[in-house]
Structures are given as structure tokens and as C-alpha cells.
A and B are shown apart, each in its own frame.
Chain A
């Protein structure tokens, strides 16, 4: 026991018919990010630095739903949000409604470190970004062709009340042609974009940190805020653990999921895996979600009640695993 540990995720709720080459792509990215984190941990970087660095890498890569590659809002633009929390002192930073900031998680960190507040959103957040001199790009930078296609499908799906069949229009870079009875957030799983990326770390000094970033729900109302930037819901870290969640935003918010893992550890004395299992089993009602967590003792755990979660984890004693399914 003890030693550093790290976990990353690329979203819970994966289409069981996801083509193998897409699965490989995802695993490669998770592995790369995991290695980035491991390298930083071996160089004694602090947990808060590592989670920022890893999530930043995930945002830059267009594969998952954060930064570049974010899901599109109803009007076809990208609105990103993120949060970060340092278990050592429980300081936190969050941002929502970003449209030009290349790395939302880094802006969240700046809110935590360089502003008198914990959460900035929309034009105020963009102004702060300009003041801080972070890298800014046009909104088009974040939009991928694939997501343009997905948005179209989502709009069509949202007008179909009971029929899960997706018309095979256009996009063959995703598995939308397959029928899937499983729905998340009102969208068939083949169209639903797993909502977030996240990273949790405990460093060699036992300090925990967590960070989560997302473009949000495909076809969301503009101005909609999900669980990812909400401390206690999508992200939480304290001296006992670090947690990052993904899945149906409503379920995660109502269940204050990230805080819940820490609360049962703190108030009920459960160990990390027990706490994670308890929360996934008992706190989700009809909601679908997943989470990753680390404890100050060097444990790492994940749990989900969805069909799969893109994830990877590693510990100092050499354990490493990247997985999608159960």
C-alpha cells in the first residue's frame, strides 16, 4: 500500500457495436495519457499538476468529448466546461460555457489559482482567459466532421419518441447504422457521446487530485451546464481521495456522486473500492454513470453501471490496465 496511483477515463456509456478500430484508437489514447501521467509521477510532480497535464492532453486529442472533438450544442457550436480540485486543502476551480479556450482544464486551474473565485462561466470566463493570456482559438477548431454528423443524428433521434432505430444518413465513421436498445440521456447509445474525460491521481506524498472536462451532451440547449464543472457532482477531491465521474449529468448531480464516494469513506469508514461499489449500486437509481477514484493510500478503483467505460489505471507497484468493457 502507499505509493502513487493514477486513473483516466474517456466517458461511460459505450456503444457495444463500436467498431474494433475505434476501440483500438481509444485504448491507444488512454495508454498514451496514462504514460504521460506515470512519467510525471515518477518525476515527483504533484497530483494537481498531473491531473491538469493529463486532462489537457485528452482535451487536445480530438477523439474524446472534450476540448477538440467536443460534442456540439443545439446551434452547432461547442461550449466546453471543466473543473479541477486539489484534495490538499480542497481548493477548486471550474469553468463553463467556453468557446475559444484551447484547454478548459487549464483555465479552471487558473480560476483556482489566480482569481478570487472558484467558478467562472461564459463571457466572464472568456474575458478572464484573455487576461490570463491562455491559448485561444476559433470555435471551429473544436468542431470535428464526425460530431457534425452526430449532431444531425441526435436531432433526428430527439424527434423520434419510441423508435430507437437510427436512419443510416451519412456518417459511416461511427456505428450509427446499428440498432441499439440502450439509451442514455434520451439518446440511443449509438448516437450518445460519452460525456467527459477525467483524471484522478494520488502522488507519492499521498495528495489526491481530480479533474474533469467535457463538451457536454450532444444537441444540448445552449447554456446547459452538466455535472462536469460542478464540485461534488462530477469532480471531488479531499485528503482521502480523488474522484471524477462521467455519464448522465442529471443522475450525477442529483446523486452528488463524486462527493458521495468521499463521504462514505469519511463518514462510514469504507475503503475505496467498497465506497465506489456502494455509490454505483445504491446512488444511481435509474441513472447511468461511471467514475474513477484514487485514495490517499495508493488504491485505485473504478465503477460503472453502463455498457462500458473508456478507462485506464496504473499504480506505482507496476500494475497497469486499459479497458473498455466490464
Chain B
């Protein structure tokens, strides 16, 4: 028993040859966000507050595909989405199609707490953001040069693309696993449990590079990208369409509940049996304070920590098992 936290910055075909100047800032961000989350848990903040806080940090970081640093639609625009869920009450909030909201995850939380609805999107969501006085900026704030390059490349290749593909060189190694033309774009997410077993999950993203305007992925879909109940909290990442039809986040919890699997077994089962290889990753914590980070892709930007002092920051498979 004790608190636990896990966060991710996207799963996919992250090349082991990823250049240091691209890998290091991301690792530093993971380290920083983990620290923010751990400190908040130590300060007895609720898991709901913790996951929102950590995801805000990831959204503010331009190296990850959420908030600032979001990938671009085929029109070169920004459309962000997010969802949050409280395990105790199963209350949830979700947003899609945001263009000016600095922290989509916070707007999702406001939808949950300040409206009779769960999910607001596009103009309606933007209008609500203004009513609530949440921080908004010109859409250009979210756009990075890196993502402009990625969009260019994706258009040239005429397919949706992995976000961490270096925008400068074209490495053929990346071509094959994603030959079906669909991206395995990352999102960001965080799950947390406190020492009383309260759970929460939050996920946020800019979506797929070169996506059609109006495309919604798994991230704002409760049960797909995000889920939390009194057993566990899950945040998924990867190919949105696969996560949606696999109801990934919900299935981890369902396996624990209906088949009595442990958190680790359930997560492993879902990424190995319920979705195609190379498509999905997730982080999850249980009411008992366990943590697991599972993926069937080459790698997943991730970090976790538990109250007993264990902590991990990684991209590719860890050395042990």
C-alpha cells in the first residue's frame, strides 16, 4: 500500500537511434514531471489534482504532443483534446477540437465539475473556456517548428506520421512498421493513486500529424484512452483508432474485475492480445499502490514512482525481464 504514480509521453516506433539532442530534453521533461507528481502526492494532494497538474506540465512542454508542441492537422492547424476521470465517483470530463486553450486537461476538468455534461467540443468548448475564464492564447502559441516540418514530411509521404520522427533526416527504418500509413502518435498521460486507494487518470494530445480536420482520437474517449474506477486508473497512448476499438483503458480494469487478473497481468494481456502489435502502450496504477507500464511498440516515453522509493524513467524496454 502507499501512493504510486506513472506518466507517459507517447508509445510508438521510437528509433533506438534517436539523436541525443532529441532524446535528452524529453527525458528531462519526464524527470521533471515525475518530480512534480511525486511532490504533490507527498503533499497529500488528491490524485485528481495530481494527474491534472502533471498533465499540465506535459502540455506546457513543447517536446510532447499535447498543448504546446501538439502536432498539426492537414490544414496546419491545432486541434487538441483531453479527458480526465476520477476513480472514486467515476465522474469524468472530456474536450476536443480546442485551438486556444493553454491547458486542455484543465478545461476537461471544468467540464466535469462545472457543467451537467461530460464532453464538450470545438466551438462549444472554446466558448465554455471563455465563460470560465481559463487561460487562452493565440493558436500560434502551440505550433513548433518541429511540427511544421513533420507535417511537411507527412504530406510528402502522404500519410499520417510518428511525432518523434526526426524532421530533418528521413530514416527508412521507420517506414516498414508503419507501412499501413497510419501513425502511432504519442499523447501524454498520468495516473495516480494515493495511500487511501483513491485513483485518477488524465490524458491529453494534439492527435495525429496530418489528421483530417475534426478527427477525434481515443484520448477524449472514456474507456479508450482514459479510465479510472475503484480498482485501477489507466491512460493509453498509440494508434487512436486501435485503442478505441479495443476499449483499452476499460479493458484493463475489466480484466481485473471479471477475470481476477492482477494489474500487471491485465495490462500485459491487453497490449498483447487485444490490440495489434506496434500500436499501443499504457500506464496504470492499482488501488493497492501497484504500477505497471506496458506497450507493444518499440518504445514508450514513460516514468513512474511508488512510495517505497522505486522510480523509473525510460524509453525502451528496461534491462530487467
The one of A92, A223, A249 that contacts B122, using a Cβ cutoff of 8 Å: A223
Contacts of B155 in A (CB 8 A): none
CB distance from B286 to the nearest CB of A (A): 17
The one of A117, A221, A260, A285 that contacts B124, using a Cβ cutoff of 8 Å: A221
CA distance A268 to B255 in the complex (A): 9
Is B188 part of the binding interface, using a Cβ–Cβ cutoff of 8 Å? no
Contacting chain B: which of A21-29, A53-61, A132-140, A250-258?
A250-258
Contacts of B181 in A (CB 8 A): 116
Is A124 part of the binding interface, using a Cβ–Cβ cutoff of 8 Å? yes
Contacts of B124 in A (CB 8 A): 221-224
CB distance from B267 to the nearest CB of A (A): 15
CA distance A94 to B116 in the complex (A): 23
CB distance from A277 to the nearest CB of B (A): 15
Number of chain B interface residues as a range: 35 or more
Is A205 part of the binding interface, using a Cβ–Cβ cutoff of 8 Å? no
- Chain A interface, >50% SS class: mixed
CB distance from A183 to the nearest CB of B (A): 12
By the criterion CB–CB under 8 Å, are A230 and B221 in contact? yes
Enumerate B112-168 residues with CB–CB distance to A below 8 Å. 115-125, 127-128, 160
By the criterion CB–CB under 8 Å, are A232 and B224 in contact? yes
Contacts of B96 in A (CB 8 A): 121, 225
Per-residue contact bits, chain B 222-261, to A (CB 8 Å; 1 contact, 0 not): 1110010000000000001100111100110011001100
Q: Name the residue of chain A whose CB is nearest to the CB of B160.
A: A116
By the criterion CB–CB under 8 Å, are B160 and A232 in contact? no
CA distance A120 to B122 in the complex (A): 12
Known contacts A120-B216, A224-B119, A232-B224; is-contact A264 B258 (Cβ 8 Å): yes
Known contacts A122-B121, A122-B214, A267-B259; is-contact A256 B245 (Cβ 8 Å): no
CA distance A45 to B125 in the complex (A): 40
CA distance A127 to B75 in the complex (A): 13
Q: Name the residue of chain A whose CB is nearest to the CB of B248.
A: A232
Contacts of A232 in B (CB 8 A): 221-224, 244, 247, 250
Known contacts A223-B124, A254-B90, A259-B223; is-contact A118 B258 (Cβ 8 Å): no
By the criterion CB–CB under 8 Å, are A119 and B244 in contact? yes
Is B37 part of the binding interface, using a Cβ–Cβ cutoff of 8 Å? no
Contacts of A110 in B (CB 8 A): none
Q: Name the residue of chain B whose CB is nearest to the CB of A121.
A: B214
CA distance A263 to B221 in the complex (A): 17
Contacts of A119 in B (CB 8 A): 215-217, 221, 244
Is B91 part of the binding interface, using a Cβ–Cβ cutoff of 8 Å? yes
By the criterion CB–CB under 8 Å, are A123 and B214 in contact? yes
Is A220 part of the binding interface, using a Cβ–Cβ cutoff of 8 Å? yes
CA distance A230 to B221 in the complex (A): 7
By the criterion CB–CB under 8 Å, are B222 and A254 in contact? yes
By the criterion CB–CB under 8 Å, are B216 and A249 in contact? no
Q: Name the residue of chain A whose CB is nearest to the CB of B229.
A: A254
The one of B94, B120, B222 that contacts A256, using a Cβ cutoff of 8 Å: B222
Q: Name the residue of chain B whose CB is nearest to the CB of A90.
A: B245
CB distance from B105 to the nearest CB of A (A): 17
By the criterion CB–CB under 8 Å, are B222 and A233 in contact? yes
CA distance A253 to B217 in the complex (A): 16
**List of 9 A-B pairs having minimum Cβ-Cβ separation, nearest first:** A223-B124, A124-B214, A267-B258, A124-B213, A256-B223, A119-B216, A225-B119, A232-B223, A122-B122
Q: Give me the interface of A with B, judged by CB distance under 8 Å.
A: 85, 90-92, 94, 96-97, 115-125, 127-128, 185-186, 220-226, 230-233, 236, 249-250, 253-256, 259-260, 263-264, 267-268, 285
- 23 chain-A/chain-B pairs, Cβ below 8 angstroms: A85-B245, A90-B246, A96-B121, A116-B182, A117-B240, A118-B241, A120-B214, A120-B216, A122-B97, A124-B214, A124-B215, A221-B115, A221-B117, A221-B120, A224-B119, A225-B96, A231-B247, A232-B250, A233-B222, A250-B116, A254-B91, A267-B254, A267-B258
Q: Give me the interface of B with A, judged by CB distance under 8 Å.
A: 90-92, 94, 96-97, 115-125, 127-128, 160, 181-182, 211-217, 221-224, 227, 240-241, 244-247, 250-251, 254-255, 258-259
Query: In the complex, given contacts A116-B212, A120-B215, what are 12 additional A-B residue pairs having Cβ atoms less than 8 angstroms apart?
Result: A92-B244, A94-B216, A122-B214, A223-B128, A224-B120, A226-B119, A230-B119, A230-B222, A231-B221, A253-B118, A254-B92, A256-B222
